[in-house]
A and B are shown apart, each in its own frame.
Chain A
Amino acid sequence: NAGVTQTPKFQVLKTGQSMTLQCAQDMNHEYMSWYRQDPGMGLRLIHYSVGAGITDQGEVPNGYNVSRSTTEDFPLRLLSAAPSQTSVYFCASSQWGQSRDTEAFFGQGTRLTVV
């Protein structure tokens, strides 16, 4: 079982460059989300999606764009990278629901450095 696959694992960008972080899941989960993790700040929600064609903003959406054309894929786009976007990015997916059965599965993370 692949679960949640994030690519790349590491990336270095120059300020102003754009790139896409890929996230794919093979569990037919409706809900997918992106988080960033910074030292001392835990994980913060960037964007999330409750199904194909439906996305919404989380706590820290500025500078990021998402789309959900299929159930499996939820890419995160950095439009113009800034040093403040240096972070570890996690993608997660889960079934939609209101119980313990909606446990989230996380990708392995992408460590992004913007210079």
Chain B
Amino acid sequence: AQKITQTQPGMFVQEKEAVTLDCTYDTSDQSYGLFWYKQPSSGEMIFLIYQGSYDEQNATEGRYSLNFQKARKSANLVISASQLGDSAMYFCAMSPSGGYQKVTFGTGTKLQVIP
């Protein structure tokens, strides 16, 4: 069974600063995928970034990067140069296959960006 743990229910960050959202996971699978999604107050789910368990380099997508530490089973999301539009819920998730199937989500972190 997979488990995702997000220990930060809420966080504040000053506009233009960087912020790290924590995510740890537990799985017995050798091959798996890790994802981050953003959910603004409007409710839609927005895919941000993906990391495969066999990817040697940390994933990056624009201002988002995933700090993947396999031995520690952590997959933290780093948002650089925070913007007001980054205020949202952020969910860490994983799948047992590496692709998007049977995904398990964490409980989320609510990020608020302060002007």
Contact = CB atoms under 8 A, between A and B. Distances in A.
Main secondary structure of the interface of B (DSSP, over half): loop
A42 B52 contact: no
B43 interface: yes
Interface in A63-115: 88, 90, 92, 94-104, 106, 108-109
Interface string B74-115: 000000000000000001010001111111111110000000
Interface of A: 31, 33, 35, 40-45, 48, 50, 58-59, 88, 90, 92, 94-104, 106, 108-109
B47 interface: yes
B56 interface: no
A42 B107 contact: yes
Contacts of A58: 102
B103 A99 contact: no
Contact of B91 (A43, A45, A88, A100): A43
B50 A100 contact: yes
